[in-house]
Structure 1
């Protein structure tokens, strides 16, 4: 686990996930060394955090958050994170640069935490999709740090 507290993560758990009825980002594990046996196949969102003893310096403040992602396809969070993990473990490829989040996690090790979508409420059938929640997490991060996480690209 990261050696420094992640206050941004805690703030987003309350401000975004909690406000929209999603559970907090939890289930943290090492992206290289661990693979939870019961890793869920449900829809949800996930976050990658850089390891090490120092967070990433952003234009305003610091955070170890590298990337926010969503999982809405078959195999849910397990499938999406597994695909990322495979690319991170295989290392950089000679023909093209890796995904920025992968590069950060290869350089500093990293961790993953996730939040599973709550069961749909029949009274609100559309609810808040994983895609919508991911977008809100990125927007809130951008408000706090004046840029997106390094793995989610830069704001135009």
Structure 2
């Protein structure tokens, strides 16, 4: 029975490595379903549940970030440094912004005495250039 558990751990590590490899240097902020489709190219037998589980493990391990969106599915990000995002309200794509991260927002103002800020996120919402062009032409 122990042998089965070891092979399961090895398999999970291989699957997690596959997913981590897909995420490495992927700045397109893919959704879990997009990562699942990319995973199936290299490992056709991989299940959607396995991909979701491993994505959550990679998030817990701090190797990737999960971006919860106000509309549409969650996206995943491989960039380690703090930065801000833009969400297109029409196509639901997520983009990195060129805005400089403002560390001063991580200091609680006097009116928030007792609070400890550990970080912040900024999500700009609007239309990407492609969707703005489509709306303009309609």
TM-score, length basis structure 1 = 0.23
Task: Point out the structure with max Rg over C-alpha.
Answer: 2
Q: Specify which structure has the higher proportion of strand.
A: 1
TM-score, length basis structure 2 = 0.25
Q: Specify which structure has the higher proportion of helix.
A: 2
